[in-house]
């Protein structure tokens, strides 16, 4: 198994840039992922954060959990705001001799990334801004009450795609944001998961070194919306990876690397049966999901194997 870690636990900073005392639900994988991202980013960072759970839980007026400069943006414009910050910093350097290396980071949930903010993200990647975009994918619009997004997986029940007599819940397959980002021919794209701290931090470190846009898509377990116990967050993320439902990989200058390549995947049922949002699925639904997961996983495997052969 190939694992990705340039970190030894002792080298990880004790500093927190998103302080405890925020208002996330207990067991929130999204805030955990954000904490790891911020640890790797460090102090010289400016964050442009689209509206959503992470914005709400970190800044209940008049308090803030942020220890770095942070801007709350609309759904639509987190990447446009990041573009402006990056250009502003460039101008400060050019005209006023400013020398500090500041990391510009835009972040948002899956709704903010794959749906409503996709145009501004695409524009910023296409223009080549030097910024990192992080998507915390909890697979629905959680902050406003578990509405489906284009990242909601096939078969999941949400409040706007509810399972019942007339429907089995979400009937479309998850949008592949990593492939969409890679189609912009940016240098670095990666997927990760809230249950893998070293993987997240290593990938953020790599993204920092890129001059230009980079994109990191982090599956972030949400016990509230996934209807699973809050003490199962880490296990749930690992199951997503171990079943092949969420492969963790990197695309560096177009070349794929599968970071965790398991010799044998677990059946998807191991993951689905533990979450209330999939409770209604029958054997045929599960078999359909199993088939699609293997198809998609093998696609990534083939792309990664193709690179090794070159």
Ligand X SMILES: Cc1ncc(C[n+]2csc(CCOP(=O)(O)OP(=O)(O)O)c2C)c(N)n1
Cβ 248 to ligand SF4 shortest distance, Å? 20
Alpha-carbon distance 168 to 154, whole Å?
Answer: 9
- Binding string, 195-224, against ligand X, x = CB under 6 A? ------------------------------
Query: Using the rule CB under 6 A, which residue among 48, 49, 113, 138 binds ligand SF4?
Result: 138
Q: In what order do the strands lie in the sheet with 103-109?
A: 70-73, 45-50, 103-109, 132-137, 214-219, 188-193, 249-252, 255-258
Q: Are 157 and 103 in contact (CB under 8 A)?
A: no
Alpha-carbon distance 265 to 262, whole Å?
Answer: 6
Q: Does 218 bind ligand SF4 (CB under 6 A)?
A: no
* Residues 211, 117, 248, 33, CA torsion sign: positive
Query: Using the rule CB under 6 A, which residue among 57, 182, 204, 251 binds ligand SF4?
Result: 57
Q: Does 108 bind ligand SF4 (CB under 6 A)?
A: no
Q: Does 53 bind ligand SF4 (CB under 6 A)?
A: yes
Q: Tell me the CB-side half-sphere exposure of residue 188, using CA atoms within 13 A.
A: 19
Looking up tokens 């980079």 gives 214
CB nearer ligand X, residue 50 or residue 207:
50
CB nearer ligand X, residue 40 or residue 146:
146
Cβ 72 to ligand X shortest distance, Å? 10
For ligand SF4, the binding residues (CB under 6 A) are 24-25, 28, 30-31, 53, 57, 138, 142-143, 222-225
């Amino acid at each position: 198994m190939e694992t990705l870690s340039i970190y030894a636990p002792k080298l990880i900073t004790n500093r927190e840039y998103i302080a405890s005392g925020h208002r996330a639900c207990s067991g929130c994988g999204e805030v955990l992922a954000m904490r790891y991202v911020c640890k790797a980013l460090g102090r010289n960072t400016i964050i442009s954060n689209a509206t959503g759970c992470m914005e709400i839980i970190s800044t209940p007026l008049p308090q803030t959990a942020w220890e770095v400069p942070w801007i709350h943006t609309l759904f639509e414009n987190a990447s446009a705001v990041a573009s402006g910050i990056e250009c502003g910093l460039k101008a400060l350097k050019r005209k006023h001799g400013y020398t500090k290396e500041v990391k510009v980071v835009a972040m948002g949930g899956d709704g903010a990334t794959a749906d409503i903010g996709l145009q501004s993200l695409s524009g910023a990647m296409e223009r080549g801004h030097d910024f990192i975009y992080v998507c915390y994918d909890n697979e629905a619009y959680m902050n406003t009450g578990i509405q489906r997004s284009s990242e909601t997986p096939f078969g999941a029940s949400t409040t706007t795609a509810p399972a019942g007599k007339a429907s089995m819940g979400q009937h479309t397959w998850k949008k592949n944001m990593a492939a969409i980002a890679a189609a912009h021919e940016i240098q670095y794209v990666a997927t990760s998961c809230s249950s893998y701290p070293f993987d997240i931090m290593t990938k953020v470190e790599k993204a920092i070194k890129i001059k230009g846009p980079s994109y990191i898509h982090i599956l972030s377990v949400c016990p509230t919306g996934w209807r699973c116990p809050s003490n199962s967050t880490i296990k749930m993320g690992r199951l997503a990876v171990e079943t092949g439902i969420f492969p963790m990989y990197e695309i560096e200058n177009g070349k794929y690397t599968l970071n965790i390549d398991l010799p044998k995947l677990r059946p998807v049922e191991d993951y689905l049966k533990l979450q209330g949002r999939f409770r209604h699925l029958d054997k045929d639904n599960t078999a359909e999901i199993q088939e699609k997961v293997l198809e998609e996983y093998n696609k990534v495997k083939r792309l990664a194997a193709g690179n090794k052969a070159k």
